[in-house]
Amino acid sequence: GNGSMRLADASECLMQNADGEGVEDMTTLAHLHEPGVLSNLSRRYEHDAIYTAVGAILIAVNPFKPLPALFEQHVMDTYVRAASPSGGGTSGLPPHVYCIAANAYRQMMRDGAGQAILITGESGAGKTETSKLIMKCLAQ
C-alpha cells in the first residue's frame, strides 16, 4: 500500500491457517477461530467444495449455481455403499449431504432407534434443496 505500518498488540492478532484449498474437516484446523473458519469455507467454496465437516456436523454453503456432478447417482451410490454394514464406512470420503443421510440410515438399522437430521439456515440458504437430497438418498 502506502508504506505505512501499524503496531498491534499480540493479543489482538489471530494465527492464520495454512493456505491452500482448505480442509474437509475443520476439527483439523491448526487455529480454530471465526476468521479461520470463514477463510476455510471461502477457500473451499472457490473450488466448488460446498460441503465441509466439523466432526459429525456438516456445513453446506449454497453455491447459487448448478453443480450436477456433485449429485450424480454414482456419487449417492458411493456413500450408500460405504455406509452399509459391509461397506467399510464413510470416513475416507469427502463431506457430503449423502454421507449424513446414509450414516443416519445405517445407525437407525444398526441400533433400531430413530434418527434425526437437523437442517438449519437463513432464508435462501438451501434448506429445501438439502432436504430433497436427503429424502432422495434415504429412498434409495
Q: What is the CATH number of the domain that holds 103?
A: 3.40.850.10
Q: Is the model more confident about 117 or about 1?
A: 117
pLDDT for 13 beyond 70: no
pLDDT for 1 beyond 70: no
Which structural domain, as residue segments, surrounds residue 131?
10-138
Is there a binding annotation on residue 36? no
pLDDT for 35 beyond 90: no
The amino acid at residue 7 is L
Site of grid cell 456433485: 70
Is there a binding annotation on residue 20? no
Is there a binding annotation on residue 127? yes
pLDDT for the residue numbered 123: 94
Residue 5 covered by a domain? no
The rounded percent of the chain whose pLDDT value lies above 90 is: 78
Residue 23 covered by a domain? yes
CA angle 72, 74, 80 (to 5 degrees): 110
Site of grid cell 449417492: 76
Residue 65 covered by a domain? yes
The amino acid at residue 79 is Y
| Mean pLDDT score across all residues of the chain | 92
Is there a binding annotation on residue 123? yes
Is there a binding annotation on residue 121? yes
Alpha carbons within 13 A on the beta-carbon side of 4: 2
Provide the number of structural domains found in the chain. Answer: 1
Residue 1 covered by a domain? no
Is there a binding annotation on residue 125? yes
Residue 103 covered by a domain? yes
pLDDT for the residue numbered 61: 96
Nearest Cα neighbor of 128 from 73, 70, 60 is 60
* pTM for the whole structure: 0.85
Q: What's the sign of the alpha-carbon dihedral 126, 21, 13, 8?
A: negative
SS3 51: strand
Residue 2 covered by a domain? no
